[in-house]
């Protein structure tokens, strides 16, 4: 059986050699004509490819130009929007500045009013107390003049009480009156 397999393998390996056909012989002229046709076809293909490449290049250029124009338009639109937003923010800041200026002026007016009120209070107090001060001075002067408070022997009132006590030693009526007023 081993021999049979070996024979079968040899037959199988040798059979592809029998399948090759012998090609007819081509002349040099046919080869040159075939090469010329191939070169012409290759040149035609190159021309077509050049046309297609040029067309594709033009299409790509047009697309890039269109994309660039769209991007320029978008950028311009964005720039305009940004300018509008900045203008709006500037207006808001100006409004805030005006409000702050108004508040500052209002604060200055309030502070001036407070200082004016303090000045008025001081002036009013001075003008109100001045007549009372003058009246008290007059009373003091009159008391000092009438009672002689600065006298070395004592005031007139004290001296009078001493005189009445001396008289009460001799007169009972005066003594009873002074006792009734708790002066004896």
CA–CA distances in Å: residue 21 to residues 15, 16, 17: 13, 11, 10
pLDDT for 119 equals: 94
| Domain spans, the chain | 148-184
pLDDT per residue over 88-119, tens digit each? 999 999 999 999 999 999 999 999 999 999 99
Radius of gyration of the chain (CA): 69
pLDDT for 13 equals: 66
Per-10-residue mean pLDDT, the chain, length 184: 71 59 75 88 90 90 93 94 93 92 95 95 87 88 76 78 88 89 81
pLDDT for 159 equals: 83
Question: The tokens of 165 are what?
Answer: 């006590």
pLDDT for 92 equals: 92
Question: The tokens of 181 are what?
Answer: 């007023």
Record the pTM: 0.38
Q: Is the dihedral of CA 114, 117, 123, 129 positive or negative?
A: negative
CA–CA distances in Å: residue 108 to residues 6, 95, 99, 111: 123, 20, 14, 5
pLDDT for 113 equals: 96
CA distance 87 to 98: 16
CA distance 120 to 131: 17
pLDDT for 33 equals: 85
Q: In this structure, are residues 165 and 178 in contact, taking their beta carbons and an 8 Å threshold?
A: yes
> Could you tell me how far CA 168 lies from the centroid of its own chain?
96
pLDDT for 145 equals: 76
CA triple 121-106-117, angle to 5 deg: 0
């Amino acid at each position: 059986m081993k021999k049979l397999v070996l024979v079968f393998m040899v037959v199988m390996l040798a059979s592809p050699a029998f399948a090759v056909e012998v090609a007819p012989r081509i002349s040099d002229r046919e080869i040159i004509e075939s090469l010329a046709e191939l070169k012409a076809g290759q040149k035609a293909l190159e021309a077509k490819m050049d046309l297609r490449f040029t067309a594709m290049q033009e299409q790509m250029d047009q697309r890039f130009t269109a994309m660039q124009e769209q991007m320029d338009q978008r950028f311009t639109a964005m720039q305009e929007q940004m300018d509008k937003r900045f203008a709006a923010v500037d207006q808001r800041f100006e409004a805030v500045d005006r409000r702050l200026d108004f508040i500052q002026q209002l604060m200055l007016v309030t502070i001036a009013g407070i200082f004016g009120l303090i000045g008025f209070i001081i002036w009013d107090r001075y003008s109100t107390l001045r007549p009372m001060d003058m009246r008290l001075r007059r009373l003091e002067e009159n008391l000092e003049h009438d009672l002689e408070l600065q006298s070395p022997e004592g005031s007139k009132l004290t001296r009078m009480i001493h005189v009445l006590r001396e008289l009460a030693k001799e007169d009972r009526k005066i003594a009873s009156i002074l006792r009734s007023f708790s002066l004896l």
